Amino acid sequence: MSGFQNMKKQLGVVLRGIPIIILCLLLALLFAAKIILYTNTTYQSIAKVKLDDSKYGFSSTAMFEDFDVFSSEKYIETEAEILNSPLLVGMAVDSLDFDVAIYRAGSIKKTLLYDNSPITVTYHFEKPELYKKEYGLIIKDDSVTLKVGKEENVTTYESFLGKSFELEGGEITVFKRELVDKNIVRDGAYKVNFFDRESLIKDVKSRLDVKAVSKEIFVLRVVYTDESAVRAAKFTNRLCQVYVDDYIASKASAANTSVNFIKSQLEEVRQKLERAELELKLFKEQNDVVNTLQETETGLREISKLKIQLINLSINKQSVDQLEAYIAEGNFFDETSVSFGFGDLLMTELVKKMQILIGERKDLLALYTEDHEKVVAHDEKIAEIKNYIKEAIKSNKKEIATKIIEAEEALKIAEVQFKHFPQREKDLKILEREFRLQESSYNFLSEKLIEASIAASVKTAFHRVIQKAVVEKKAVKPNKTLITFVFGLLGLIIGIIIVYFRAAIVKKIIDKVDIEKTSLTPIVALVRRRKESMVNSEFITIAKGLLLKGFINKKENNVLTIVSAVEGEGKSFITRNLGAALVEMGYNVALVDLDMERPSLQTGVKKFSYLNAVDEKSQLEEGITLYSTLNKDNSFLNNVEHVLGKIAILKEKYDFVVIDGGSIKESISAIELMKESSVSLFVVRANYTYFKYATFPDILKEEYGVDNIQFLLNDISSSINYTGYFSNYNLSLKHLYYRLKHYYNAK
């Protein structure tokens, strides 16, 4: 067989197994539908937050730059960690009712109820272990049954809606909830989960994902998944709002700290200014001083500059001291910004990094002990940053102290130049210098107080929520399209595998090549599946072939016996149609039914029927019926001479005698008839007869001496031509319907 013919044959295996493939596909799709049905639905909400860019954002403009004087350039990764920190997540869940999760309990899965829950549950637990227990509710009318614990240790309580369940260490109350949808049934089974704050934060963080859209774009993408679309959208929006509010509150807190510090310094400078003003006034009144010398202006400016420098250094020193106290105290979660203002951006980022590490340490302590290697590693990182900050503080304090000493020495040098002036003018200049110095300090601090007050009072955040989360109607899990496609594809693949596996294990004869590989007996004819109107022409072709090959001829070799290995291979069909074809060709034909295994034999009467071709109109309708009287206890072999005698009469009277001899496997009776026949046709049905039955003709030849036996291949595909090879495949719907109808090889 050529490669092309073999490919067509393999394709035929698939076409014959279409019912199995369709069944596997339907089962796979049904299984996919069940998976989709019993998988908990998960919704996803997405929000986006635009971070302020101090270089190119709103805060970079002259109008707003003083409103956020304490802000530094934000790093996207740092802000993402802050937004995903337990601190902000805890602040968000504190204002939401996520601590109680109510599920509708089914036999296979449970479904989260939130805005569509027909009940609400309140609780008050004094013992933390109550949070870890399992709670089940059964509601019927107004009665409520509460089951606490697992199946092997369940405690049952009975109460009513609105009345509390008194537990050991707490209480639970179930209330009705009026819904817009009146079709929701309240009665049924429920599961309730209670979360303490730490476990709730952990549960929420497990389903929260905060990432930067890009390293170059100051936008954070906040994604939260939940079984309730309303819960997902509500939490996402709340977290973004908490982030913005915390940013404003932190900025205002830092500004308020600065305002309080400046106010205290301003009050001190004000008192000094009043004293200096009073002393200058008294000096002028006592010494009748009107003007000061011009040459002292330069020296006074230098002294004033040094005084201002000393004040600034003093302010920076106090800021460093505040930072040192902040580090020593160790409370890094009160604020997200540090209350100092000497402008060291690196120090600010280090403190934020330490805050994040401490938050992560708390998360690790929920999973590990303090001596675990991960906790110890975090402690080492925190200690390393803390030591670095302390060393930096020492370095800054030493540098500020050095600058103060240098400024004081420079101030002393500047003051010495006035010794050569007259004492009166010297004293006047000193008083004026002190007055101007205090006035300048007072004006400087007043300006800073105004700026800090504006920053503290203006609730402006340059972080913006540019995309709010919405209540999604389409779930992200389960992915119905993907699951259906994958299982459908698997169903097709499994169906094809089963078809080929079945074809390999259950070997059946498909075409003439299979017979030629199995048996040495030749094939005399092929019977293809044809339309009913074409059957007659098919058998006329077979009859002409038998005549041309000399297997049969009129009056001499005119007995044909048609047998098969088992029932159902089409012997009667071939007998009738082959006889009809010979009648159509003008011969007188007798059709004889000698299938000894048929139920009609049990009556004790065997029917011999044959057709008499008198004319074209009556050749298939008129006939003569002969009966053989056989006793119930007599077998065919005991009456073989009687039967052969009857056949001999028919042989002399008719041109051809076509005998339906029955199945070889069921009865050995037909072998005697085959020996007395001109030719014996052994019927094999395509896609029905097993390979092992194809060896029967060889056995009959060898053991019983039946030499006139020939194969007749029945019911082969219409895509195989009369030579026995594939010509084409008919893939029409009608052909598919025929294959489904005849899948189990019905006659």
69 in the same domain as 26: no
pLDDT score recorded for residue 746: 40
Report which of 155, 173, 156 is spatially closest to residue 164, judged by C-alpha positions.
Answer: 173
Q: What is the 3-state secondary structure (H, E, C) of 567-622?
A: CCCCHHHHHHHHHHHHHHCCCCEEEEECCCCCHHHHHCEEEEEEECCCCCCCCCCC
In a domain, 427, yes or no: yes
51 in the same domain as 37: no
pLDDT score recorded for residue 253: 77
532 in the same domain as 484: no
527 in the same domain as 379: no
Domain-terminating residue out of 186, 211, 243: 243
pTM over 0.85? The answer is no
340 in the same domain as 382: yes
Q: What is the 3-state secondary structure (H, E, C) of 300-349?
A: HHHHHHHHHHHHHHHHHHHHHHHHHHHHHHCCCCCCCCCCCCCCCHHHHH
In a domain, 734, yes or no: no
214 phi and psi angles, rounded to 5 deg: -160, 155
Could you tell me the CA-to-CA distances from 710 to 169, 526, 547, 563 in Å, in that order?
A: 93, 11, 14, 10
422 in the same domain as 296: yes
In a domain, 155, yes or no: yes
522 in the same domain as 410: no
Could you tell me the CA-to-CA distances from 574 to 119, 448, 664, 695 in Å, in that order?
A: 75, 114, 16, 21
Report which of 239, 284, 255 is spatially closest to residue 80, judged by C-alpha positions.
Answer: 239
487 in the same domain as 405: no
Report which of 347, 689, 353, 314 is spatially closest to residue 512, judged by C-alpha positions.
Answer: 689
Domain-terminating residue out of 400, 433, 463: 463
Compute the C-alpha angle 114/116/117, nearest 5°.
Answer: 70
Structure tokens at 543: 């009859």
Domain-terminating residue out of 243, 278, 296: 243
pLDDT score recorded for residue 361: 80
Determine the structural domain holding residue 304 and report its residue range: 266-463
In a domain, 160, yes or no: yes
pLDDT score recorded for residue 737: 56
pLDDT score recorded for residue 467: 81
408 in the same domain as 516: no
Report which of 357, 663, 712, 299 is spatially closest to residue 524, judged by C-alpha positions.
Answer: 712
In a domain, 253, yes or no: no
Residue 690 maps to which CATH number?
Answer: 3.40.50.300
- Other beta carbons less than 10 A from residue 526's beta carbon: 23
Structure tokens at 713: 């291949």
433 in the same domain as 368: yes
In a domain, 168, yes or no: yes
160 in the same domain as 33: no
361 in the same domain as 225: no
In a domain, 741, yes or no: no
In a domain, 736, yes or no: no
pLDDT along the chain (747 residues), means of 10: 57 75 91 88 89 55 42 65 88 89 85 87 89 88 87 84 88 84 82 91 90 83 90 90 84 78 83 82 69 59 79 78 72 47 63 78 80 82 80 81 82 66 68 81 83 69 78 86 91 87 76 82 83 75 85 80 85 86 86 61 36 34 36 46 77 84 74 82 86 84 86 78 52 51 46
Work out the burial of residue 162: count CB atoms within 10 Å of its CB; fewer than 13 is exposed, 13-18 middle, 19 or more buried: exposed
Q: For helices 229-287 and 423-457, what crossing angle results, to 10°?
A: 160
Tokens 């050749």 locate to 619
DSSP-derived letter for residue 131 is G
How many structural domains comprise the chain? 4
Query: What distance in Å separates the CA atoms of residue 299 and residue 291, rounded to the nearest whole number?
Result: 16
Q: What type of residue sits at position 742?
A: H
pLDDT score recorded for residue 680: 87
Query: What distance in Å separates the CA atoms of residue 439 and residue 76, rounded to the nearest whole number?
Result: 44
Is the alpha carbon torsion for 66, 71, 74, 79 positive or negative? negative
Q: What is the 3-state secondary structure (H, E, C) of 475-500?
A: CCECCHHHHHHHHHHHHHHHHHHHHH
pLDDT score recorded for residue 634: 40
Query: What distance in Å separates the CA atoms of residue 650 and residue 644, rounded to the nearest whole number?
Result: 10
Work out the burial of residue 728: count CB atoms within 10 Å of its CB; fewer than 13 is exposed, 13-18 middle, 19 or more buried: exposed
Q: What type of residue sits at position 139?
A: I
